Structure 1
Amino acid sequence: MQTPENNDSQLILVQQNLRTLPQELVKSHADHVEVLDLSHNCLKDLSWLAEFEQLRHLVLDNNRMHEAHLRTLTRPLPQLEILMLNKNEFNDLPTTMRLIRRFFPNLEYLSLHGNPICPDGLELQPFSSYLRYDYAYYSNYIAQSLSKLKFLDHGVVQRTYQYESFPLKNYAGKPLIQTTSF
């Protein structure tokens, strides 16, 4: 493993083939790091992340992560303001948002570009059915889930809800989607 780039408040360990953060790095950096970039690794375990009590900005792009990896967190990080999860494998929007809300309750910036849950057009397959409506639904769902969020992906969060984006009952009064309490 290469020596981490470090200016005391930043720890950058890009392309290190990490599955978890080594305990010696956690011990030596957790008490002062505010920016942590672990892009282009193979992270499977995030339990160590709770030790980073000063962390404000976390980049986990290109780690092939999905919802199960967020479940390895041991406690919330209420101080975290920026979370970058671009180009991972998150594919269940309600579950992903439930976990993000639980572990990162004060996020102001979230980016999920290139994940199956993000209809952003970045990973379009030929003849994709991507529509602006899809992104508006996704964006409103996330805005409703994270009340402090100011920026999502590439822009300012719009909290419009001016269309039928969250149908809870059909016309016969039966549920269209299952809802769970958080």
Structure 2
Amino acid sequence: MDESSFILGVDLDGVVGDFYGAMREIAAEWLDRPLESLKKEVSFGLHEWGIDEYGGYDRLHRFAVTQRDLFRVMKPIKDAPATLRKLSVRGIRIRIITHRLFLKYFHKTSITQTVEWLDAHDIPYWDLCFMKDKGAVGAHVYIDDSPSNVERLREQGCRTIVFSNSTNLQLPGPRADTWQDVERLVMEAYDEWRTGTLNLFGASSFPR
């Protein structure tokens, strides 16, 4: 398989891994509050949990990764690993693109936990990219849950699927509520690519 393959750009947190579920459990401990007191439906930044008066999101994130192995212990989102295996077997190149290195001084920890988690759940990938500008690495179709990432990718002309959660309900589709939806949307794009008709939201036909 080479760069002429169909490439699926996959975000991890909130798409493949249950980031918000894991963070909710860690935040309950960090805040010394009952788990049920923390809302499941949150916005980007987790302000609903009242973390700002305790140092804010960056401080909670640092604790979660360095002291509670966040990227190693979070559970996969239902059907994500199995669906990625199916897509990989069909010849789709999985390119993991994540912005997990946005905080300084513990990059090695974040990278190590990420690789171990992917291997532990047998999640196939050909490329693993840690970067903010996801459009810079290239993919035929992206899937992401972050509102800012989705908007930026679409502004760049990238065909992007929104993976639904409470942080992104305001975004227009195409949208996947489950990994069965992801599989269907990706295979539709893959079939278009194979026939040379894959378009990027009204742009000219995507080169094969």
**What TM-score do you get using the length of structure 1 for normalisation?**
0.32
- Bigger relative CO (Cα 8 Å, ≥ 6 apart): 2
Question: In proportion to residue count, which structure has more helix?
Answer: 2
